[in-house]
Amino acid sequence: MEVPLFPLNTLLLPDGLLALRIFEARYLDMIRACMRDDNPFGVVMIKAGQEVGSPALTYPMGTLATIANWEMQPGGLLHVDVAGGAKFRVTGTRVQADQLLLGDIETLAPEPALALPEQYRYMATMLEDLLPKIHPLYKSRTLQLNDASWVGCRFTELLPLYAADKQALLELDDPHARLQILDRSFVALRRQQAEDGEKAS
């Protein structure tokens, strides 16, 4: 299966929502083609390079994206909301004449449906409060706050981690292992914020 790839400095995970502002001709054409043919495209994290210009070097795993909403704005800027589908692995790439990156991919099986352990319930509580404020589309979607994979994926998107760390969390297929890592990262982040606050005062 070959799909157009959209290299970004951020992640999209399964069942997530991502707002994109598109202005480059290759990606405007890509979005038009995806809407016309009702096809997804792949979101992949940049490992080296930039979002604009020559195709960037990307990580080998990403997430399929389907267009949930779009709006053409002044100046030819296209606002697109996309929803995350299946994770995939890139097995090969080629570059079109317009510099659009195309990827041969194999889709991966969904993660197992596991209940959210009680010690991570705070993540679900935070998500319930924050997600509708971050993206309006979450107001009309069912929040799967008892699903370990769903909560872990949303917390991965939300937590301010290094790109490589977020990518590693995407590549995990064990929801409970992802939650353990996120819990440690969140505790470390709160500790660092407290220390910074003490220094500032």
Provide the CATH number for the domain around residue 190.
1.10.4060
Give domain status of residue 122, yes or no. yes
Round to whole Å and give the CA distance between 124 and 127: 5
Do both 79 and 136 map to the same domain? Answer: no
Give domain status of residue 20, yes or no. yes
Q: What is the pTM of this model?
A: 0.90
Give the per-residue pLDDT at 201: 65
Q: Which residues pair with 73 in a beta bridge?
A: 77
Query: Domain boundary at 38, 73, 107, which?
Result: 107
Give domain status of residue 148, yes or no. yes
Do both 97 and 155 map to the same domain? Answer: no
Do both 137 and 62 map to the same domain? Answer: no
Round to whole Å and give the CA distance between 73 and 22: 10
Do both 196 and 127 map to the same domain? Answer: yes
Give domain status of residue 112, yes or no. no
Give the per-residue pLDDT at 137: 84
Do both 103 and 122 map to the same domain? Answer: no
Do both 84 and 150 map to the same domain? Answer: no
Place of tokens 């030819």: 76
Residues of the chain with pLDDT under 50: none
Query: Domain boundary at 107, 132, 163, which?
Result: 107
Give the per-residue pLDDT at 28: 93
Instruction: State the residue range of the domain holding 147.
Output: 118-200
Do both 99 and 163 map to the same domain? Answer: no
Do both 139 and 102 map to the same domain? Answer: no
Residues 6+ apart with CB under 8 A from 98: 25, 26, 29
Do both 159 and 187 map to the same domain? Answer: yes
Q: String of b and e for 94-118 (b: at least 16 CB within 10 Å)?
A: eeeeeebbbbebeeeeebeeeebee
Structural domains in the chain (count): 2
Give domain status of residue 135, yes or no. yes
Place of tokens 């937590």: 159
Do both 98 and 156 map to the same domain? Answer: no
Do both 91 and 167 map to the same domain? Answer: no
Residues 6+ apart with CB under 8 A from 201: none
Torsion 24-28-34-35 (CA) sign: positive
Give domain status of residue 189, yes or no. yes
Q: Let me know: does 28 contact 3? Beta carbons within 8 Å.
A: no
Query: Domain boundary at 45, 73, 107, which?
Result: 107
Pairing of strands 77-95, 101-107: antiparallel
- Closest by CA to 148, choosing from 129, 188, 120, is 120
Give the per-residue pLDDT at 197: 75
